[in-house]
Amino acid sequence: MRIYIVRHGETVLNAKGVFQGRTDEPLNQNGRDLAEMTGKAMKGIHFDRCFSSPLDRAKETASIILRESGNDIPVETDDRVIEMNFGDMEGKPFSEMGDEGLKFYFDAFHFAGFPNGETIQDVCGRTQEFLKEIIANDDGKTCLVSTHGCAMRGMVNYLSDNPADFWFGRAPYNCSFTIVEAEGGVARITDINKVYYDESLIKDPFAKK
C-alpha cells in the first residue's frame, strides 16, 4: 500500500505569512498552478481512493491533482485531517506569535497551543488515528491524502526516526508530499518534502522567520 500525503497549494494568506488554520481560504492562482503542474507530473500514478480535509484549499488541490493525473475518483472528506486550530492567532501574521509561540516551530511538543486553539498533541492524536485506520485496512491500494502543513507533520510523526523533531527540520512546502508505504500493517516513510514541480518555484515564507 502506498499513501501520498500532500500539503495544499498556495493561498493568499500563505503568501502573506499568516496563520490560516481553520480559515476556509481558497487557493490563489499560484496554488492552482502548482497543483496543476503536480498532477500533470503524476500521470501514470493510479489512485484508488482520495481523502481530503474539508477545507476548500485542500479539496481543490486534491481535485486538480486527480484531474490532471487522469484519476477519475471522488474526493472523500475526513475531519480528522483538517488543519490545526490556531485559536486567537488565526488570521494573524507569524511575526506576532511572540517568544512563547516560537516553541510552535522549535519545540513543538512543549508548545502549549495558542489561546482557544489546539495543541500539537491534539493534532497528532486525530491525524494519526486517521492514518492508522487506513493502514490497518491495507488492501494494497494507492491513496492520495490532501491536507495541511501542521496536520501532515502530525500524521506521520509516529513513523519518524526522530519524533521530537515535529517539523522534520522544516515546514512542508505547498504541494509537497510525504509518501508512506505499508505492508502487513507495518508502515514507513519513503519520501518527505517531495515536489513534482520545478524546485525553483518553491516559496519558503519560513526561511526568514
pLDDT band at 65 (very low <50, low <70, confident <90, very high): very high
Alpha-carbon span 22 to 131, nearest angstrom: 20
Q: Which residues contact 13 (CB under 8 A, 6 or more apart)?
A: 19, 20, 23, 25, 91
Question: Cβ neighbours of residue 53 under 8 Å, at least 6 residues apart?
Answer: 8, 59, 77, 78, 79, 81, 82, 83, 146, 147, 148, 151
pLDDT digits (tens, 9 = 90+) for 126-144: 999 999 999 998 889 999 9
Quick one: 2-198 is in which CATH superfamily? Phosphoglycerate mutase-like (3.40.50.1240)
Question: Which is it for the CA torsion 209, 13, 51, 54, positive or negative?
Answer: positive
Nearest to 118 by CA among 144, 145, 79, 156: 79
User: What is the structure's pLDDT at 207?
Assistant: 53
Q: Are 189 and 160 in contact (CB under 8 A)?
A: yes
- For 29, the enclosing helix (H) or strand (E) is helix 29-41
Single pTM value for the model? 0.96
Residues ≥6 apart with Cβ < 8 Å to 169: none
Please say if the pLDDT value at position 204 is more than 90. Answer: no
Domain coordinates of the chain in residue numbers?
2-198
Q: Which residues are catalytic?
A: 8, 83
Cell numbers linked to 179: 509518501
- Angle among Cα 133, 53, 61 to the nearest 5 degrees reads 120
CA quadruple 101, 103, 104, 105: dihedral positive or negative?
Answer: positive
Per residue in 9-58, pLDDT (tens digit) is 999 999 999 999 999 999 999 999 999 999 999 999 999 999 999 999 99
pLDDT tens digits, residue range 97-120? 888 888 999 999 999 999 999 999
